[in-house]
Structure 1
Amino acid sequence: MGMKLRLGIVGLGLIWENIHMPILMDMKEQFEIKAFCVHNEKKIPLWQQRLPGAAAYTDYRRMVQDISVDAVVVTTPLEMNAEVTLAALEAGKDVFCEKPMAVHVDVADRIMEMEKQTGKTVYVLEQFLYNPQLPVMKKIIDGKQLGEFVSFERTTHYLMDSSNEGYGQTQWRRKSDFPLGHIYDGGVHEIALLNELFGMPEEMYAVGQSFREEMGKYDHILTMFHYPSGATGVFSHSAFLACSKNYFYIRFTEGSLYVYGDKLVLEHKNGGTEELNTAEGDTYRAMWMELARIVSGHGKLPFTAQDAKNCVRVLDAVEQSIESDQCAPVK
């Protein structure tokens, strides 16, 4: 990168403070924080100390107009992601947006249309796409090293409560204004990963269960994916059912593949087994390093606004299926 990209930050919550800020503060040759927006005016002095020299705002609409800002980092409560992204694009800024980019397909379409109109880019901060295991898995699947893809089983259960570094106590999660519940927050990572590995499903069947009044409509969602090839997949997600034995199995006509920590284990139909070491690493840091390269004109963006929209399309079908108790097409 020749010149530093000058950033304005909207949303100084936990994900910014715990994840993005420490990384960007270590990347001062690539990024410079020129402005920030905080809803609570009383917190301005604190953030002026932590981000010295950055202009302070309490209205993101004013901040995105700041001529010293090249790009806006959107780390707001997820139901605000789209409106801030649209305002930044309209102001002629590139956007680094936390997932999900939007919670409705029509709004995702508006964002993509605004990208075209302005010539600016939305870089969705989806760190799962920067896991070093992913290209290895893609090579096995696309190269048919274990034959044709038949099915997958993916389980991600954990307990989202006050012990989760404060995430489970945030009011926008406890009094959510977005569909389904936590699958639209933490679970959207998994949808992005599944779409990248297997492509878009053509229809879904899903059931949802609720065990508590807060934290969204459903605490557990079990979904079956149907693909155009005839392959299927089962995805079980919960932010209520604590489990340390989550798993990911992928089955093929000539064997199977499963993820075991930083290893990928291949089991061949003839009985042979092999392990591939794939260090997991810091996916957030890897993401920002790669985004810096892409912004400077090197490399291809692995997760585009279209990919982000596809995640919304899948989750929209999940919601339709739960509500109708029928298979729903992915539109």
Structure 2
Amino acid sequence: MIRIAFCGMGSIARGRHLPELLAEKDAAFQGYYVPSPLKCGDELPPTAVSYSSFDHMLQDPAVDAVVITSPNTFHASQSIAAMKAGKDVLCEKPMAISMEEGREMLRTAKETGQVLMIAHNLVLEPAFSLAKKYLTDGSLGRVLFFQGLIACEGPEGQDQPFPEKLWFFQKEKAGGGASLDLAVHGAHAISWLLEEPLTPVSHLAAALDKKTSLGAPIEVEDTCLGLFRTPSGIIGTLGASWCCQEGWRSPITLYCQKGVLHLYPNPDTALEIRYADGSVFTQPSIPKSLWPHGSGVMHAFVEAVVQRTDPQYTAQPALDALEAALSLTGSREG
């Protein structure tokens, strides 16, 4: 039985990772660390340990693995500390806020032999697996160019009444705005589909709508758009925005030699392929409640820990996605 502790118990931890962990037969929730008292802990198992510090949690021999859901600026340092303490790590995206930090995470995973997985969930969705099947069977030919958009209404919630207090909107804690929150998902997913990293060419980024309580723009971009190319010559665009009032949208289109593949072109369709000969394949959206392992993130992590999969499982692609996302903030490093 893999015993897992959480660093951070915000919405992603309580809404996704914890329910999915409690559904796993080979893993158990050991406890958690949060820097301030939880406002609501009714959904936590009564046996969960509340650790007084992150170090206290790492020192507990009962903890086999750690889930990092703290603000972005802590992802790298906490993941590295956990791996050095002999814990496997599932870290929320983005894996870090700089390429240097990301590379250090990969080095630590290799040196310690610990599993390091970054919580990029799009590629674990059924529609992406089906899209990959059609891309690799040759029926669409080579991909020529792509368009991607990851958007939502923004990270505001009831816990933080003032935008300037929301860590997502603070450059120091978040590292970037929609780029590191959303575009990093799109970059990871598109790279997975193409089996190539995205090399940044140019970008635009701005705080178009989000404001502080005093009416000033937030510290990070709420919308960004980038132009990319791959080593084989595929070109495309990827946009991300916190200004989409219809809620979560993640349409990705791949224009191929023999047709066009659309992922999530509308809320009712998960996958649509329009071939050059006029034929069409359509896969309706499947309610998330019917997906076998929820987002699939926790199941994949537990499986990797149990089977001792390559310690860099999903980590190198996540680093490539981080580089693409950082380019949309103007912060790309060499």
Count of residue correspondences: 317
- Do the aligned residues in 2 keep the contact of 1:48 with 1:56 (CA within 8 Å)? no
Alignment RMSD: 2.9
Amino acid at match of 1:88: A
Q: Which runs of 5+ in 2 are unaligned?
A: none
Residue 187 (structure 2) aligned to one of 180, 187, 191: 191
What fraction of aligned residue pairs are identical, expressed as a percent? 21
- Do the aligned residues in 2 keep the contact of 1:129 with 1:303 (CA within 8 Å)? no
- Do the aligned residues in 1 keep the contact of 2:147 with 2:236 (CA within 8 Å)? yes
Matched, 1:288 2:298: yes
Cα distance in structure 1, aligned partners of 2:56 and 2:108: 19
Residue 173 (structure 1) aligned to one of 144, 168, 173: 168
Aligned to 1:75: 69
Cα distance in structure 2, aligned partners of 1:83 and 1:256: 42
SS for the counterpart of 2:139 is: coil
CA shift in 2, pair 1:167/1:21, >3 Å: farther
Cα distance in structure 2, aligned partners of 1:55 and 1:306: 32
SS for the counterpart of 1:139 is: helix
**Deviates further, 50-59 or 31-40:** 50-59
SS for the counterpart of 2:50 is: strand
**TM-score, normalization by structure 2:** 0.84
SS for the counterpart of 2:147 is: strand
Aligned to 1:159: 153
Aligned to 2:34: 38
Q: Report Cα offsets for 1:152-183 as digits up to 9, x if no partner.
A: 12223332164x57589662113232333122
**Deviates further, 242-251 or 222-231:** 242-251
Aligned to 1:55: 49
Aligned to 2:317: 307
Cα distance in structure 2, aligned partners of 1:253 and 1:48: 53
Residue 14 (structure 2) aligned to one of 12, 17, 23: 17
Amino acid at match of 1:265: E
- Do the aligned residues in 1 keep the contact of 2:94 with 2:184 (CA within 8 Å)? yes
SS for the counterpart of 2:329 is: helix
Question: After the TM superposition, which residues 1-331 of structure 1 pair with which residues of structure 2 at under 5 Å, given as runs?
Answer: 4-27=1-24, 29-40=25-36, 42-43=37-38, 47=41, 50-160=44-154, 162=156, 171-177=166-172, 178-198=174-194, 199-211=196-208, 212=211, 213=216, 215-243=218-246, 247-259=251-263, 260=265, 261-277=268-284, 279=286, 281=288, 282=291, 284-297=294-307, 304-320=314-330, 331=334
- Do the aligned residues in 2 keep the contact of 1:175 with 1:214 (CA within 8 Å)? no
SS for the counterpart of 2:91 is: strand
- Do the aligned residues in 2 keep the contact of 1:263 with 1:279 (CA within 8 Å)? yes
Cα distance in structure 2, aligned partners of 1:99 and 1:11: 14
- Do the aligned residues in 1 keep the contact of 2:6 with 2:69 (CA within 8 Å)? yes
SS for the counterpart of 1:296 is: helix
Cα distance in structure 2, aligned partners of 1:47 and 1:111: 31
CA shift in 2, pair 1:254/1:318, >3 Å: same
Q: Which runs of 5+ in 1 are unaligned?
A: none
Q: 1:49: Cα distance to partner?
A: 8.6
Amino acid at match of 1:22: P
CA shift in 2, pair 1:132/1:148, >3 Å: same
Q: 1:221: Cα distance to partner?
A: 0.8
**TM-score, normalization by structure 1:** 0.84
